[in-house]
Amino acid sequence: MRASLLLDACEKAGIRFFTGVPDSLLKGLCNELYDRFGTESDTHVVAHNEGGAIALCAGHYLSCGKPALCYMQNSGLGNAVNPLASLMDPKVYGIPCLLVIGWRGEPGVKDEPQHVKQGIITLSQLEILDIPYLILSEDTTDESFLENFASLVFALSQCRTAAIVVRKGALTTDRKPSYSNAFRMSRESAAEIILSKTEARDVIVSTTGKLSRELFELREKRGEDHSRDFLTVGSMGHAGMIALRIAVEHPERTVWCLDGDGAALMHLGSLPVIGKRAPGHFLHVIINNGAHETVGGMPVCSGCLDLPALAKASGYHAVYSADNETDLASVLEQAKASSAGGPVMVEVRCSCSSRADLGRPTTTPIQNRDALMAFLQT
């Protein structure tokens, strides 16, 4: 079904504010929103996380009495449960909102391991929250959608949240906005330089998305095993906390956290916790391409996040930034040298791009866990 039909139906129902966190299954919707409204208008806001997006929807309703649309991957439903249950629910404030949820890990549909459990429980989560929903499939006709959408509009009029669950391939658009920035260094090239600066006993914790996939392939290219790396295939935004605890419990090792700007933004509260604990030999490298590139490329916070300033204010011992291969190699040497005094952040400004033939890890999460745990005992 065309994403434009969904947006047109929303606007007809009085829904004229849109927010959320991008998802690959919702790329048609995200592209349509970006093309219509951009990401810097008061009509469409790319939020830091799904719970924050729900809060924006609440503020919108309180301001004008109209519901908003909040889009997210089903993994983000967990981030949204608290405000959905403690703020939006009819037993509390009764603030209506339309959720559009990408159904990753749908039972019977091949997907990555981090989506399996989420896919199984998506519909039951909505049922537990008493949120009525309809499922959008590739074979959903315009007529059937509009007929079923009317029941969701009625739920919204009763001050209830309602949801559209989107199966793979269900939403399409012909709009192809250009997501890019001015930087030329690729994330994979940066990861290769970072890897070359690590030592044999170093540990790497990498964030969810393509960065972990690139790290896995770089290890393969170098003929190395994967025991030194923890690939945080899910739990977007939590790689820093995982890396922090490893660093505290293994002060004899250097711990690298390879993060993304979108992931870091999702849970910025990690930064002052890391700064307060002040582990030595902790290098927090954030790939900043200003975009949710793994799920389609929609801009993150309009690329305005000053990560080094945030890290410095949070108590990091030193901060650095680089936007090309030569500077990155030099900066990493400086960062390693200064990390003895406390956590260091290195911001790496990269292009919004990746290889079309980028593979996926061939080991399971359990194998990854066991290999790292064994390595940490050596």
Distance CA 30, CA 166 (A): 13
Distance CA 47, CA 204 (A): 28
φ, ψ (nearest 5 deg) of residue 206:
-115, 150
Give the pLDDT of residue 178. 77
All structural domains of the chain, each given as residue ranges with its CATH number in brackets, are 3-166 (3.40.50.970), 187-376 (3.40.50.970)
Beta strands in 170-328 (DSSP E): 203-206, 229-231, 255-260, 282-288, 291-292, 298-299, 318-322
Distance CA 313, CA 306 (A): 11
Q: What is the 8-class DSSP label of residue 85?
A: I
Q: What is the 8-class DSSP label of residue 39?
A: S
What is the chain's pLDDT, residue by residue, as a tens digit (378 residues)?
999 999 999 999 999 999 999 999 999 999 999 999 987 789 999 999 999 999 999 999 999 999 999 999 999 999 999 999 999 999 999 999 999 999 999 999 999 888 999 999 999 999 999 999 999 999 999 999 999 999 999 999 999 999 999 999 999 999 888 778 888 999 999 999 999 999 999 999 999 889 999 999 999 999 999 999 999 988 999 999 999 999 999 999 999 999 999 999 999 999 999 999 999 999 999 999 888 887 777 878 756 678 999 999 999 999 999 999 999 999 999 999 999 999 999 999 999 888 889 999 999 999 999 999 999 999
